[in-house]
Structure 1
Amino acid sequence: MKLHTLFIALISVLFFSCSPQKKTQEEDTKNWIWVHANKDRTVEEWTRLLKQYNSIGVKAILLGANTEVLERVIPLAHQQNIEVHAWMWTLNKNGDSIAAQHPDWFSVNRLGESCYDKKPYVGYYSWVCPSIPQVQEHILNKVQSLLDIEGVDGIHLDYVRYCDAILPKGLWAKYDIIQDKVYPQWDYGYNPSNIKLFKALYGYSPLDLDDPNTDENWVEFRLSTVTDLVNKIADLVHSQNKQLSAAVFPSPRLSRKMVYQPWDQWNLDAALPMIYHNFYEEDIAWIGETTADGVAIVDGKFPIYTGLFVHDLKEEDLKTATELAVKSGANGWCLFDANSFEKFHQSKID
């Protein structure tokens, strides 16, 4: 009981001390948490967890779950005044049985290797090409199926990008690689469909170039294919008066270079940049610096909520990180993820 009281006191201080004093749009100020759903969790367990999230100032959950679980959790969350946004993998189609029937949908690297049968980095990387009409239709159908769930507040896009051309520096040792530039085996987007579209626009193929990544047209082309898809999704989501958010790389500058993700150009209601400083071998101050960079580039188009990797943050660092985010212009913060948060703080939750 003593530890539980200490926990509540600690996180209450964390929330209220980093709450912004002034916001031009109060409704944009909130905190989030990514939640991987356990389908066997009972109503009582969900109620306990939702009350816990509420107690630390979380007003929206990004819930990765099937329809049955979403339908169970949404009314429980709304009782706690917590929004529920359906969290979906967008262009990484690992485990997607429909995509698996279409090898031609999958992204191809500069060596001609397809994600369909040769996974880059990890076994669950199954990237599809955003410019293929059938891929777009498949993704939009998935979005619509989530929008059809009664009470859902929004759609949250994850893996909405190309495969990592350059990994965060802190991960290079894990994969025994050095990525001081974009190398062919990690350079994706060379699908026949992309090449055909690009050649029709510019009259040449990127494969004719010694280093396609020095060609501005080719780089911008891939950026535009992701933007076009996201903005089609945005049109669908907004037509049904729901919100669209996305988990994105730390800042538009980094995301363009690393994964061809120009998220400042998207028609979002919220961006949640994953500012996981340890992945980049940076100190905690980088969270504030990178948040400020994104806020400046977006320039008020939509609010930013700084994503924090809980596992790499001690309790005092978590408080510092949330304060840095808000002081740097974020409208709040988002924790990755609920399971890590519970495990990390288990001694005090019990």
Structure 2
Amino acid sequence: MNLTSKTLIAFILLFYGLNAMAQTAKADFKYWTWLTYDQKKKDKEYNKLFHHLRENGIDAVLINTNGNPDDLKKMAGLAGKEGLEVHAWIMAMNRPGDKVALQHPDWYTVSREGKSCYDTRPYVDYYQWLCPTREASRNHVLGLVKGLAEVEGVASVHLDYIRFSDIFLPIGLLPKYNLTQDTELPEFDFCYCDVCISEFEDMHHKNPREMEHPELDIEWRQFRLNKIKAVVDDAYKIAHDHNKILTAAVFPYPEMAGRMVRQRWDKWQIDEVLPMVYHNFYNEEIDWIGWVTQQGVNDLKDTGTGLNTGVFIPAIQPEEMAQVIDQAKQNGAKGIAFFDANALTDEHLAVIKSSKKP
């Protein structure tokens, strides 16, 4: 056999090897959905739902039990019996109606206007944001993470609202609130509580309350990015100490997330992220899903963090589902997550099931 023949055979083997790897990667592509637990529903209703989801291609369910480990344990058992992977979905820094937190008004973030989320809520009534700097409030959140991480049959603790309140809303939502946001408005700029200000001042020898334009101060912005990162990194340790991984729902890509909600998730210690690539929120077309997915994958290069593209089902027609799934697959996502299970119609599920066929 001459050198040319050997080279040709090597090339063929390499081609088929890479092709096999690509096929394996596609086979491992995971389908997730978010689901909020309803105490009014009977177990048999959940048995039926979980069976239906699994039969139609869903691999993993992110279940919100409002931080209740007992409810999570029950749901993990029901979903696990149907072969679904279970993730403990928790509202992290935004804790609407949290009975423990409500006993401590000082735990809540304060706007540049000096108003607390405890009684003055930005945008909507369910925005009750806890301060990530205060030891008591952050420990409360981490305590909830620990309680969920201790539940058997759970693959990850899944952090949602792991950020500050929206400085900028997605452009598609602005008309709903009759807002124009072309700068960081004081009523949406957090957190200016005494603890945040004092700690920052000790570190940088300047007071954001006294700045004419605190929104332009790089150190002040980074301080708050770091405070969210610190909560995530502590949650990561807690999850791993209990043999769980840590996942999170995040804004579309790091640069956007950092600007809109103080959330630079490419800097976090975290196993997997599920960016909420809700194209209609940003007045974008379906191909934007692919572009944002690729941007996030590129930003995570060499971090070890996996990315699963999150999509908003009410904005996706069943006939568009194959294209949406393909946008995530072809741009490097490990999977795709659907918000939410209740919005998935039989027509949507039929496309999902079909997309998993070899």
Regarding TM over 0.5, the answer is yes
Partner of 1:168: 170
Q: How does 1:285-304 map to 2 (within 5 A)?
A: 285-300=287-302, 301-304=304-307
* Deviation for aligned residue 1:58: 1.8
Kept after mapping to 1: 8 A contact 2:117/2:128: yes
* Residue number in structure 2 paired with 1:60: 60
Q: Aligned pair count?
A: 329
Q: Per-residue deviation at 1:260?
A: 0.1
Q: Rate the CA distance shift 1:208–1:343 in 2: closer, same or farther, 3 A.
A: farther
* 2:326 equivalent to 1:323: yes
Inter-partner Cα distance in structure 1 for 2:160 and 2:209: 29
Q: Look up the match of 1:129.
A: 131
| Structure 1 residue 79 displacement after superposition | 2.5
Which residue of 1 is the match for residue 313 of structure 2? Answer: 310
Opposite residue 291 of structure 1, the aligned amino acid is T
Name the structure 2 match of 1:259.
261
Letter in 1 for 2:62: L
Q: Deviations over 1:312-341 (max 9, x none)?
A: 000122221111011011011000001122
Contact 2:142-2:231 within 8 A present in 1 as well: no
Which residue of structure 2 aligns with residue 177 of structure 1? Answer: 179
2:155 corresponds to which residue?
153
State the alpha-carbon separation in 1 of the partners of residues 102 and 117 from structure 2: 11
In the TM superposition, residue 68 of structure 1 has moved relative to its aligned partner by 3.8
**Alpha-carbon spacing, 1:157–1:28, altered in 2? closer, same or farther (3 Å):** farther
1:75 and 1:91 mapped to 2: Cα distance?
27
Name 1:108's counterpart in structure 2. Answer: 110
8 Å Cα contact 2:26/2:329 also seen in 1: no
Q: Distance in 2 between matches of 1:206 and 1:51?
A: 53
Q: For the Cα contact (< 8 Å) 2:321–2:348, is it kept in 1? A: no
Q: Is the 1:245–1:272 contact (alpha carbons within 8 Å) kept by the matching residues of 2?
A: yes
- Measure the CA separation in 2 of the matches of 1:49 and 1:183: 43
The answer to whether the 8 A contact 2:61-2:84 is kept is yes
Q: Distance in 2 between matches of 1:82 and 1:284?
A: 28
Q: In the TM superposition, what is the alpha-carbon distance from 1:153 to its structure 2 partner?
A: 1.9
- Displacement of 1:220 in angstroms is 0.6
Does structure 1 conserve the Cα–Cα contact (< 8 Å) formed by 2:313 and 2:343? yes
> Which deviations, in whole Å up to 9, do the C-alpha atoms of 1:274-306 show, x marking residues without a partner?
000000011111000001000000114211000
Q: Distance in 1 between matches of 2:56 and 2:213?
A: 49
SS at match of 1:58: coil
Q: Which amino acid aligns with 2:38?
A: N
| Residue 27 to residue 191, structure 1, CA distance change in 2 (3 Å) | farther
Amino acid at match of 2:271: D
Provide the alpha-carbon RMSD of the alignment: 2.2
Please say if residues 115 and 126 of structure 1, whose CA atoms lie closer than 8 Å, have aligned partners that are also in contact. yes
- Give the structure 1 partner of residue 217 of structure 2: 215
Identity %: 37
**SS of the residue aligned with 1:22?**
helix
Q: Does residue 1:22 correspond to 2:22, yes or no?
A: yes
Q: Give distance in 2, aligned partners of 1:184 and 1:311.
A: 32
Counterpart residue identity of residue 281, structure 1? N
- Aligned equivalents of 2:88 and 2:340: distance in 1? 15
Tell me the residue number matched to 2:13: none
Provide the C-alpha distance between the structure 2 equivalents of 1:27 and 1:241, rounded to a whole number of angstroms.
Answer: 25
CA distance in 2, matches of 1:56, 1:264: 32
Q: Please list, as runs of the form range in 1=range in 2, the aligned pairs for 1:79-118 lying within 5 A after superposition.
A: 79-118=81-120
Aligned equivalents of 1:168, 1:215: Cα separation in 2:
23
Structure 2 CA distance for aligned equivalents of residues 126 and 77 of structure 1 = 30
> Which 10-residue stretch deviates more, 230-239 or 297-306?
297-306
Maintained 8 Å contact 1:91/1:160: yes
Paired residue type of 2:163:
R
Residue 55 of structure 1: how far off its partner (Å): 2.6
What one-letter code is carried by the residue in structure 1 that aligns with 2:298? A
How far residue 135 of structure 1 moved from its aligned partner, in angstroms, is: 1.1
1:36 aligns with 2:39: no
Distance (Å, rounded) in 1 between the aligned partners of 2:299 and 2:199: 29
1:125 is paired with a residue whose SS is coil
2:33 alignment partner AA: I
TM-score computed with the length of structure 1 as normaliser:
0.89
For the structure 1 residues 103 and 178, does the alpha-carbon distance in structure 2 shift closer, same or farther, using more than 3 Å as the test? same
Determine the structure 2 residue equivalent to 1:189. 191
What per-residue deviation string (whole Å, max 9, x for no partner) do you get for residues 84-142 of structure 1?
11111100111101111111111111111111110110000000110111112111111
1:100–1:344: structure 2 CA closer, same or farther, 3 Å change rule? farther
Q: Which residue of 2 aligns with 1:244?
A: 246
- Alpha-carbon distance between aligned partners in 2 of 1:41 and 1:334, rounded to the nearest angstrom: 23
Q: Distance in 1 between matches of 2:90 and 2:289?
A: 25
Residue 155 of structure 1: CA displacement?
0.5
Query: Following the alignment from structure 1 to structure 2, what is the Cα–Cα distance between the partners of residues 82 and 314?
Result: 25
Shift of residue 21, structure 1, vs aligned partner: 6.6
AA partner of residue 113 (structure 1): K
Q: Deviations over 1:39-98 (max 9, x none)?
A: 232332222211222133221110012434322221232233211111111001111011
What is the alpha-carbon distance in structure 1 between the residues aligned to residue 38 and residue 130 of structure 2?
27
Q: Which amino acid aligns with 2:157?
A: I
